[in-house]
Structures are given as C-alpha cells and as structure tokens.
Amino acid sequence: MRGVLRAAVLASTAAVALSGCAGGGGTTDVLSEGGWPARYSDSRNSSTATAGGLDDISPAWARPLGGQVGSPAGVAANGQIAVTASTEAGCNLFSFQIGNGRKRWCTRLAPGATTVTPVSDGNANIYVGEDGGMFSFNDHGQRRWRIPVSGTPRSAQFASDGKLVVVTHFGQVNIINPQTGQLVAPLFDLVPIPAVDDGQNVPRPASDHGLAACFGGSPDCPVATNPAVDLATDRIFVTLWRPGADRASLVAMRYTSGDNASVVEEWSTDDLPGGAVTSPVLSADGTVVYVHDGDGTLWALDSATGTARWNQRLDHAPATGPAVTADGLLLIAADGAGGSLLALRDTGDGAETVWERTDVTAHGVPAVTADGLGYSVIDGGDGPAALVFDTSDGRTIDEETLTEATGFPIGTAVGPDGEFVTTTHDGDIVVLR
C-alpha cells in the first residue's frame, strides 16, 4: 500500500440512492434518471441502467459516422446520443436524436476526442476532452467553455457535490465547476511533473503523446481507463502505471469539497501484472472494487483499504470490466474466438459461477437494465447480432441480426425507454427498440 494522490468522480442516479453527504457538500443528482450518460452508465462504472429493458427488439435506425469509433456512445436522459469518430475531415463529435436518428449537431475537435465517450448531465449538456483541453457544449451544440489540461482527458465523471472530475491520460486530476469551466481545487498530478532536481528545461510531452498505448495499457499511457467514484464517500478509483514500474496499480483518492477543496491519495495496490486494461468497477454498496489485470485475473479489493479479498484467473483477458448488478452478479464478456458470456457471484472470499454461455461470443461489457435484462452484441450466423438475455440464468430472450452494422462491436448502451444502442469500430451506430 502507498499514499500520494487525488481525485476523480462520477454521478448517476443508479448510484445516487447509495450516496450520503460526501465531501461535505451533499449529493447532487447531476445526471438525472434515464439514459446512459457515461461510458459505463454511472459513477460505479457498473454498466447498469435506470430504465427497464425490452424483451422484443427490432432495428429502428442505423447511421455510418464516416470514421472509426474508439469509444461507446453516451445517451442523455432526454435521449440525445453523443458519440465521437475518427474521421479524416468534417465533424468528429456528433449528436443524434434517439427517436429517429436525425443529426442534431456536430463539430470537430482535436483527434484525442475520438478515444472517449462524451458525458451528459441532466440537462443534456455534454463534457468531452481533446488533446490538451476539456470542453462543454449545450444540447444545441453551442460551446459553453473550454479549459486547458495536461494530456488528453479520459471520459469525465461527477463528484457528489456536482463538480466535474477530469483525469487525463498523463494522470493530471482536474476538479471543475461544470457551469463556469473553472477549477475549484488545486491541480493534482498522479505522475509527478519534472522539477528543478530533474534538470533544466525538461520539456513536457505533447498532449497526445502515448495516447495510442491507452488501448492496451502501457507506461506511455499512465491512466488508460475511466475512474470510478463512490458518491457516498467521494472516494475515486483509477488505474495507474507509475514511472519505472513493471506493472500497473489501482489507486484510491478522496475528493473533499468546500472552500479548501482538495484531492489526496488514500491507498494504492501495486500488483496488476500485465497492466490494467479495464476500468475499476464498484459493487452496489461501494465496499468492493473490481478490476482485471492484463494477465487475465479478476481482482476484488476492499474499497476502503485496498486489501485483496480474492482474485480469480479467467480463461481469457477481457478488454472491459464486468457489469455489476444491484444483487451482486458480475457479468463478463470474453471477447474473441472461443469467448463466452459468464455470470459470477462474489461470495466474499471468492467467486462462484452462476451460469456460463459458451455457445455465444459476446463483445464488450454487457449493458444491464433495471428489470434484469442484459444487452450484448454477439457473433451471429449472419454477422453481428443484438442479444437480449435474462441476467439471472443467461437464457436468450431475443436476438436480432444487425444487418446494417459492420466491424468489431465497441459498446452497448440503454436508452431512456429501454432502447438498445450500439456502435462498431467501423463507424456504425445502431438503435433497436
């Protein structure tokens, strides 16, 4: 264990019920109910929605974005979809209406924007980073503010007091007033910046330096994943590859709000061999944090101390963390050939298999609805297919071929009325209802 760091956080209605008066500021429902406002839906990165699911889905619309997609779409509570794509010209940040696929607005940011999911608040304002900066736009696409940062932000979060938490891939932590775009706490660097003792005129790397390494986890991208936040304590969890280390760490920080706002490191577990390629995920009660290391082991750690509760070697190395349901199921998709869809239950000192679907190859973390349905994209007989399944036993509820989508599935989201929303690496966005 170690101590040295600072903050990052997210808010979402699924987690607000668990929140207390954290950090001295009280809990604010920034994201409101409905939609899929962040990359993994809520502050816990749990990939669970507040909307109920659909047991009979049909394709509604699909649109090509004109470039490859590197991060899933986000869906605001009013159904406005925000997504980025790596296009050669024109827009690379898009907003669509979920009902009919009509493009509301688009704009072009620096290339780093295409590696993250835009985050929406309850008013459908979005927050998205680019190389060297963090932006906010309103629901009509008008720019609200921009603040410079060191590095490229990962997908943002909200603290329990409604402040925006932005951690860049260099490990710089920014706590920002979402209305004004101004810092409300001193900058905190998870990776120390060069000092006088390091020599004169030590150059800072360009804000996009090492960004490509974030897809696999590397010392060139110290913070490759999204933070998770416990709104009851304003404790922030982030993976970090420290300079000179041979493996990644899981770090817990705490944000304290108020006149003397600050972020401090509480603990660090420096034992993730092969790096950390998945974001940390919190249990529903916030007492356990889950993370995969790069060697294919799932770790469960005490969120207050970092003490390992258990670890379990899997037959694969997932590219995304588990979805964690309110009743304690961990749903894991094994990407790639021979992959499966697996449900585990945390027993306190280990994990037991509840069910496993070896007959499907599922991609990306499954999305879970409020009434216990799971959404995932699988390899179907005629290409990628949308799967709706019962999370309690894994049985198929519905399956629809995605005839207008090509390429590797990037992620799945749930709309405010249970819509199935998915994107592909080739640059397609597809909605089923």
pLDDT exceeds 70 at position 215: yes
Mean pLDDT, residues 172-183: 97
DSSP for 8-26 reads -----HHHHTT--SGGGT-
Terminal-to-terminal C-alpha distance of the chain = 47
pLDDT digits (tens, 9 = 90+) for 3-12: 333 333 333 3
- Residue 199: left (phi > 0), alpha (psi -120 to 50), or beta? left
What are 284's two structure tokens?
Answer: 């529903």
Give the contacts of 273 (CB within 8 A, at least 6 positions apart).
247, 293, 294, 295, 297
Domains of the chain: 13-192+214-432 (2.130.10.10)
Mean pLDDT, residues 263-274: 91
pLDDT exceeds 90 at position 1: no
Give the contacts of 40 (CB within 8 A, at least 6 positions apart).
46, 47, 226, 279, 281, 321, 365
Q: Where does the pLDDT of residue 15 fall: very low under 50, low under 70, confident under 90, or very high at 90 and above?
A: very low
Give the contacts of 381 (CB within 8 A, at least 6 positions apart).
401
What are 45's two structure tokens?
Answer: 């990165």
Cα separation, 138 vs 124, whole angstroms: 7
pLDDT at 148: 97
- Give how far Cα 426 sits from Cα of 64, 119, 351, 403, Å: 8, 22, 36, 14
DSSP for 227-263 reads -EEETTTTEEEEEE--TT-SSEEEEEEEEE-STT-EE
pLDDT exceeds 80 at position 279: yes
With vertex at residue 211, the alpha carbon angle to CA 205 and CA 213, rounded to the nearest 5 degrees, is 115
Closest CA to 366 of 322, 417, 328, 426: 322
User: Looking at residue 260, what DSSP letter applies?
Assistant: T
pLDDT exceeds 80 at position 115: yes
User: Looking at residue 203, what DSSP letter applies?
Assistant: P
Report the C-alpha dihedral over residues 42, 247, 314, 9, rounded to 10 degrees: -10
Residues forming beta bridges with residue 290, ordered by sequence position? 281, 300
Is residue 39 within 8 Å of residue 276, measured between CB atoms? no
Mean pLDDT, residues 247-256: 95
Residues forming beta bridges with residue 249, ordered by sequence position? 240
pLDDT at 336: 56
- For residues 320 and 268, the model is more confident at 268
SS3 211: helix
pLDDT at 198: 62
Query: Which range among 32-46, 298-312, 389-403 shows the weakest confidence by mean pLDDT?
Result: 32-46
Query: Which range among 30-34, 328-332, 334-338 shows the weakest confidence by mean pLDDT?
Result: 334-338
Residues forming beta bridges with residue 145, ordered by sequence position? 136
pLDDT exceeds 70 at position 16: no
Cα separation, 5 vs 187, whole angstroms: 11
What count of other Cβ atoms lies within 10 Å of the Cβ of residue 108? 13
Mean pLDDT, residues 160-168: 95
Cα separation, 18 vs 36, whole angstroms: 18
Provide the whole-model pTM. 0.91
